[in-house]
Amino acid sequence: MLAVKDLEVSYGAIKAVHGISFHLNEGEIVALIGNNGAGKTSTLKAITGMITKVRGSIEFDGEKIVGMPSDKIAARGVALVPEGRHIFSGMTVQENLDMGAFLRRDKDGIRSDMEMIYNLFPVLKERSKQQGGTLSGGEQQMLAIGRALMARPKILLLDEPSLGLAPIVIDAIFESIMGINRQGIPILIVEQNVYLALSVTKRGYVMESGQVVLEGQSQDLLANEMVQRVYLGVEEAS
């Protein structure tokens, strides 16, 4: 479904990602984890065509997409929920969701997907006429996910979905994310909350300083000594 090979991402003379490789299969939910500055967001921007100074290979659904404009990549079914949500604060909830479907022309399908999103996030239906900027952080995250789903994506990329949210809200958001994945949509989650990300995924990749330093089954990564020490705060036994 998604195959990234030897990816390098640069900002001017500064290289943010150093030749990483990973993949996401049909129906999978996979974590890309690491501390702030590890290169996770740069990787997502490369996949979605938001960064052009890229080397290496990115294939989506069997097609090479490196160098392709971001709108063309989106049209092929790649949807990103960006860090910080980036909803349209001056538009209503309904209008934000409509924006997610701007490439579509199937009115009946759009109407059906809108109802699906309102069933997934009932609070959005209650606030459908409310401006996005007046929503709570958790509600804005729900709206950002809903807007991405309105594109009817083949793959969903989530950048720090737990950032700035209360624990009870995070639990609800991640329950919804798992529900979306159960519908068959492959999901790549970028997260600083390592325990949370590995708890809801089957496989994971650990990034440090622009490189993938560990990969494997999520449960194995949770048990890894380095992951426990560096990311989970578990001290070594004396």
* pLDDT computed for residue 103 by the predictor: 83
pLDDT digits (tens, 9 = 90+) for 75-127: 999 999 999 889 999 999 999 999 999 888 899 999 999 999 999 999 999 99
Contact 163, 83 (CB under 8 A): yes
* pLDDT computed for residue 101 by the predictor: 93
For range 60-70, the mean pLDDT: 93
The yes or no reply on domain 69-202 and CATH 3.30.750.24 is no
For range 167-171, the mean pLDDT: 92
Contact 82, 159 (CB under 8 A): yes
Question: What band does 237 get if pLDDT is binned at 50, 70 and 90?
Answer: very low
What are the residue boundaries of the structural domains of the chain, listed by start?
A: 1-23+53-67, 69-202
Question: What band does 12 get if pLDDT is binned at 50, 70 and 90?
Answer: confident
Q: Is the pLDDT of residue 13 over 90?
A: no
* pLDDT computed for residue 235 by the predictor: 65
CA 128 to chain centre: 24
* pLDDT computed for residue 236 by the predictor: 59
* pLDDT computed for residue 238 by the predictor: 39
* Residues counted in the chain: 238
pTM check: above 0.95: no
